[in-house]
Amino acid sequence: MNQQSPKLKEITFVLTQLSTLLMSLNSMLDHEKLAISQRDTDQLTSVVTTKISLLQSIETSSKSLSQLMVKHGYHDTQIGLNKGALAFELGDIWTAFCEKMEVCNDKNIINGRAIELSRTSTDRIIGMLRGNDKPVYGRAGKMQDKYDIVTLAEA
């Protein structure tokens, strides 16, 4: 594959742009994870704003890539994306791109789950402070419908 055809050069150009965006997203997801673990809401807000911008750029480039794939016969409405042909013709470029996408997807899922767990924990604490959430066990060690305490605070 010393000499790429013009259609592969177009696709390679867009894949290179997408790969650069994915590397930035990967870094941003690491920053997001750190902000989540440190419970730094200001940093998390900043990271999420940048992440949204990156995702919009990735979406735009992905649409361009999809259009090129249709234009050059790598995508058929009946069979979908012909990944085998792209992997064969683009080799390491396609493989690296797919790996970057998978890593970013995994990190995003993990960060999303961490945020969800944190939110659930916060909601539970607020409920406890309001006296609206029941504990697993009461003072006698049995499940109960109400706390043995009065409402501590209103939020």
Whether 86 maps to a domain, the answer reads: yes
Residue 82 sits in which domain range? 6-104
Tokens coding 89:
């013709």
Phi, psi of 81 (to 5 degrees): -70, 130
CB atoms closer than 10 angstroms to residue 74: 21
Tokens coding 87:
């992997």
| Total domains present in the chain | 1
Whether 147 maps to a domain, the answer reads: no
Q: Between 8 and 142, where is the model more confident?
A: 8
34-62 confidence digits (pLDDT tens)? 999 998 989 999 999 999 999 999 999 99
Query: pTM for the complete prediction?
Result: 0.73
Whether 122 maps to a domain, the answer reads: no
